[in-house]
């Protein structure tokens, strides 16, 4: 008999299991996939660590989380500085002085950029935004919206910006420095040796079974343990009895190329609406001093509407889905044996550091 059956060998499940095992509890972790690490899984292709379910950059401002992950991996000093390709014009992201000086060649100083942005916003100053398009225009004006926001956002959500709710974009930070670092947190990097190796280390001493789907045999799995921690989709757990929660899904097209350096950066966003993918990730740039000079691995990322059988990636955070989630949550609050955790169990987008922090708290650390 186990103290805990943990459904899902992703980050939440692995951290929870690690903590409970360290506390002397007997844990069994199962996953329906054939590998551990959930969506942060990475694997070697041509000597390059490939992020199979989308690029993952670890960043945090939580000292306890940073200390915790450093028990299981050393981190390199990678900082995420993506570039946007708009019909062949390249711009640095997030919006900063590099972006502004490229977009408006007469802009040289922060004061010039402030003035230009004020001019760009002026046209929309009186608007009370009714949709995402109006909200973005009001925040940054037409040039940035049309070249860097519109096409990308429409591909991501599969709907025109003027049909998307304005709350998706609450703020659009603009940086008046020449700083391309996407994240503001004091700690950032990629685990040397890959995310899978990090999770493997967390799971040392815990029994793990792969290719096992909890929902295929719920009763016999429940009989194995006193408590169940469930990190899969909450709506699926309840047989979609109130209906399906909506998600955005992703399709990845990965290719090995016979060139040493394809795009010179880890992430290139395609911000026009004609290019069908949202970005190309070139994995070797997450590492430093990669030894393979002749080959590279790239992944084109396509956004798509989720339907049953696909991997669920991003919850759709609108009022309708929030209300539906509340119905499932009400059921889950009544459970005495099962507890829901992680991004799918709680229907929230969470960065890795948030997932780790919650798993540490839930495990009583």
Ligand X SMILES: Cc1cc2nc3c(=O)[nH]c(=O)nc-3n(C[C@H](O)[C@H](O)[C@H](O)COP(=O)(O)OP(=O)(O)OC[C@H]3O[C@@H](n4cnc5c(N)ncnc54)[C@H](O)[C@@H]3O)c2cc1C
Determine the interface stretch with ligand X among 184-192, 208-216, 251-259, 285-293 (rule: CB under 6 A). Answer: 208-216
Determine the interface stretch with ligand X among 99-107, 268-276, 278-286, 351-359 (rule: CB under 6 A). Answer: 351-359
Q: For ligand X, give the closer residue by CB, 40 or 225.
A: 40
Q: For ligand X, give the closer residue by CB, 76 or 131.
A: 76
β-pairing, 58-60 vs 27-30, is: unpaired
Among 5, 6, 11, 48, binds ligand X (CB under 6 A): 11
Determine the interface stretch with ligand X among 38-46, 154-162, 268-276, 283-291 (rule: CB under 6 A). Answer: 38-46
Among 103, 343, 360, 363, binds ligand X (CB under 6 A): 343
12, 248, 313, 353: the catalytic one is 248
- CA dist 200 and 208 (Å) reads 10
- CA dist 202 and 8 (Å) reads 14
**Is residue 10 a contact point for ligand X (CB under 6 A)?**
yes
Contact flags string 245-284 toward ligand X, x per CB under 6 A? -----x----------------------------------
351 among known catalytic residues: yes
The residues, ordered by sequence, that sit 6+ positions from 314 with a Cβ below 8 Å of its Cβ are 247, 248, 349
Among 4, 5, 6, 13, binds ligand X (CB under 6 A): 13
Closest CA to 10 of 356, 283, 281: 356
**Is residue 39 a contact point for ligand X (CB under 6 A)?**
yes
**Is residue 350 a contact point for ligand X (CB under 6 A)?**
yes
**Is residue 66 a contact point for ligand X (CB under 6 A)?**
no
Are 252 and 54 in contact by the 8 Å Cβ rule? The answer is: yes
Among 40, 93, 245, 266, binds ligand X (CB under 6 A): 40
CA angle, residues 286, 8, 348, in degrees to nearest 5: 70
- CA dist 180 and 290 (Å) reads 22
Q: Smallest gap, in angstroms, from Cβ of residue 278 to ligand X?
A: 10
Determine the interface stretch with ligand X among 25-33, 68-76, 108-116, 168-176 (rule: CB under 6 A). Answer: 25-33
Closest CA to 363 of 9, 17, 8: 17
Determine the interface stretch with ligand X among 54-62, 66-74, 152-160, 277-285 (rule: CB under 6 A). Answer: 54-62
Are 362 and 340 in contact by the 8 Å Cβ rule? The answer is: no
Among 4, 17, 31, 86, binds ligand X (CB under 6 A): 31
- CA dist 286 and 265 (Å) reads 9
Among 3, 114, 200, 351, binds ligand X (CB under 6 A): 351
128, 171, 219, 291: the catalytic one is 171
The gap from C-alpha 202 to its chain's centroid, in whole angstroms, comes to: 21
- Residue 256's φ and ψ, nearest 5 degrees, are -95, 130
301 among known catalytic residues: yes
Are 51 and 230 in contact by the 8 Å Cβ rule? The answer is: no
175 among known catalytic residues: yes
179 among known catalytic residues: no
- Interacting residues with ligand X between 211 and 250 (CB under 6 A): 213-215, 231-232, 250
Closest CA to 39 of 77, 20, 79, 11: 11
279, 287, 328, 343: the catalytic one is 279
Give strand pairing partners of 45. 48
Tokens found for residue 28? 């069994």
Q: How many CB atoms lie within 10 A of CB 331?
A: 13
What distances in angstroms separate CA 12 from CA 8, 21, 29, 217, 345, one per listed residue? 8, 14, 11, 22, 10
Q: For ligand X, give the closer residue by CB, 30 or 117.
A: 30
**Is residue 98 a contact point for ligand X (CB under 6 A)?**
no
For the annotated catalytic residues, the residue numbers are 171, 175, 248, 279, 301, 349, 351
Task: Point out which residues bind ligand X (CB under 6 A).
Answer: 7-13, 30-33, 38-40, 54-58, 213-215, 231-232, 250, 313, 342-344, 350-353, 355
């Amino acid at each position: 008999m186990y103290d805990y059956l943990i459904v899902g060998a992703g980050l939440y499940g692995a951290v929870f299991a690690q903590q409970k095992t360290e506390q002397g509890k007997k844990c069994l972790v199962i996953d329906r996939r054939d590998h551990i690490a959930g969506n942060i899984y990475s694997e070697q292709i041509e000597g390059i660590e490939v992020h199979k379910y989308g690029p993952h950059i670890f960043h945090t401002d939580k000292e306890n989380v940073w200390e915790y992950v450093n028990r299981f991996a050393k981190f390199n000093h990678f900082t995420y500085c993506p570039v946007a390709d708009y019909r062949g014009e390249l711009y640095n992201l997030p919006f900063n002085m590099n972006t502004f000086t490229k977009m408006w060649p007469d802009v040289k100083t922060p004061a010039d950029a402030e003035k230009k942005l004020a001019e760009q916003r002026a046209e929309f100053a009186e608007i009370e935004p009714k949709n995402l398009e109006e909200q973005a225009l009001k925040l940054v004006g037409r040039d940035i919206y049309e070249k860097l926001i519109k096409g990308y956002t429409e591909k991501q959500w599969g709907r025109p910006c003027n049909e998307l709710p304005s709350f998706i974009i609450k703020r659009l930070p603009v940086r008046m420095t020449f700083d391309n670092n996407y994240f503001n947190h004091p700690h950032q990097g990629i685990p040397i040796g890959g995310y899978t190796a990090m999770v493997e280390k967390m799971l040392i001493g815990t029994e793990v079974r792969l290719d096992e789907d909890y929902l295929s045999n719920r009763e016999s799995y429940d009989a194995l343990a006193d408590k169940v921690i469930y990190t899969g989709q909450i709506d699926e757990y309840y047989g979609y009895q109130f209906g399906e929660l909506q998600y955005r899904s992703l399709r990845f097209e990965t290719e090995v190329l016979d060139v040493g350096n394809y795009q010179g950066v880890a992430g290139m966003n395609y911000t026009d609406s004609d290019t069908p993918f949202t970005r190309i990730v070139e994995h070797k740039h997450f590492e430093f001093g990669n030894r393979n000079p002749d080959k590279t691995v790239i992944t084109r990322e396509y956004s798509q509407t989720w339907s049953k059988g696909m991997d669920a990636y991003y919850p759709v955070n609108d009022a309708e889905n929030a209300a539906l989630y509340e119905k499932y949550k009400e059921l889950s609050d009544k459970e005495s044996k099962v507890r829901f955790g992680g991004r799918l169990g709680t229907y929230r987008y969470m960065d890795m550091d948030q997932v780790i922090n919650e798993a540490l708290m839930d495990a009583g650390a």
